[in-house]
Amino acid sequence: MSSPVPFAEIWRGDFPESVHCGHAAVVDGTGAVRAAWGDPGTVILPRSSVKMIQALPLIESGAAGAAGLTAEQLALACASHQGAAIHVTRIMRWLDGLGLSEDALRCGPQPSRDRELRFAMIRAGQPPGQVHNNCSGKHTGFLTLARHIGGGPEYLDIDHPVQRAVRAAFEDMTGGPSPGWAIDGCSAPNFAAPLVAVAGAMARFATARPDAADGREAAAARLVAAMMQHPDLVAGEGRACTELMRAAPGRLAAKTGAEGVFVAILPEQGLGVAVKAADGATRAAEAAIAALLVRLGVLDPADPAVRRRIAAPIHNWRGVETGFLRAAPGLLL
């Protein structure tokens, strides 16, 4: 077992103040490991980084077709969104089309992360709802699938047909039985896998063809296309997923997960990338994924969205530049 390697360095003046470490893997469509850092075999909970896998049964089952879901709705099914108006209004229309209200959701209420909407709701005395939850798109997808296959309302139960389908898709895409599961922040089961297996699953998304006879492969291609077409719905303004996909239009689908997980799907190269910050730091995962995508030739290191993650100044409350964050050189070279 290898120790985690440096991901991101924090400097204050001339002093190295902090170092975030982690594990990373780049895998191709054959399952071969092209590159690895740290211990790619470390078992992780991928959290929201694998919402694309959780959305596969929505398409494969015929539920998406029966409900007439658009690319926007499929992007939302893969999203950890800001809870901004562009997200909330679309989720509410989707629920309305199912004949449901947000009471049918089981993700729990969460304050909008969109400054404008959050403050407007505070001024209006309006409490946050479940549609503002960053996972409400995934959960509306679960509801769509549950209705199509005749499952009951408690779609998060581990033995519910929805979660059985999700687990089957996860274990197929990652290449083996999951060693276990835990409850995610949105209350859905989250299945564990080795980091390298998660990267391998992303490689399968990267090599998926929309005209494939295999239903799972065609579904994977459709989800990747939806994410790349609607990066604003996958996360939101100022968020790494959205900004990095915009920096490489049509070349990249990227998805973050809580506790320092980040994945990338590279259709042109047929590669999947997965990183896990050992300390769970978001800034470390963002630095690592951006650095590796620069290394792989997908992102321009001079792009402002990229520089914010791999070479960013740090300012104090007076606006004085006190130091900088940079991606560890070992990831970039």
Contacts of 186 (CB under 8 A, 6+ apart): 107, 108, 133, 134, 135, 138, 139
CB 146 within 8 A of CB 157: no
- Give one word for 60, left, alpha or beta, with left for phi > 0 and alpha for psi -120 to 50: alpha
C-alpha 261/C-alpha 132 separation (Å) is 22
Percent of the chain with pLDDT strictly greater than 70: 100
Q: Calculate the alpha carbon distances from 32 to 4, 25, 36 in Å.
A: 21, 10, 11
CATH code of the region 5-332: 3.40.710
Collapse the DSSP code of 194 into the 3-class scheme (helix H, G, I; strand E, B; otherwise coil) and give the result: strand
Model pLDDT for residues 120-169, shown as the tens digit of each residue: 999 999 999 999 999 999 999 999 999 999 989 999 999 999 999 999 99
Q: What is the per-residue pLDDT for 274?
A: 99
C-alpha 27/C-alpha 153 separation (Å) is 38
Model pLDDT for residues 221-261, shown as the tens digit of each residue: 999 999 999 999 999 999 999 999 999 999 999 999 999 99
| pTM metric for this prediction | 0.97
Mean pLDDT over the full length of the chain: 97
Cβ count within 10 A of residue 16: 10
C-alpha 196/C-alpha 174 separation (Å) is 9
Give me the amino acid identity at 111: P
Length of the chain (residues): 333
Q: What is the per-residue pLDDT for 23?
A: 98
Q: Is the pLDDT of residue 333 over 90?
A: no
Domain extents for the chain?
A: 5-332
Q: Say if residue 279 is exposed, middle or buried (CB neighbours under 10 Å; 0-12, 13-18, 19+).
A: middle
Mean pLDDT of 280-306: 98
Cβ count within 10 A of residue 85: 13
Rg (CA), the chain: 19
- For residue 113, give both structure tokens: 């992360």
CB 38 within 8 A of CB 187: no
CB 226 within 8 A of CB 265: no
Percent of the chain with pLDDT strictly greater than 90: 99
CB 210 within 8 A of CB 225: yes
* DSSP secondary structure code for residue 303 in this structure: S
CB 244 within 8 A of CB 290: yes
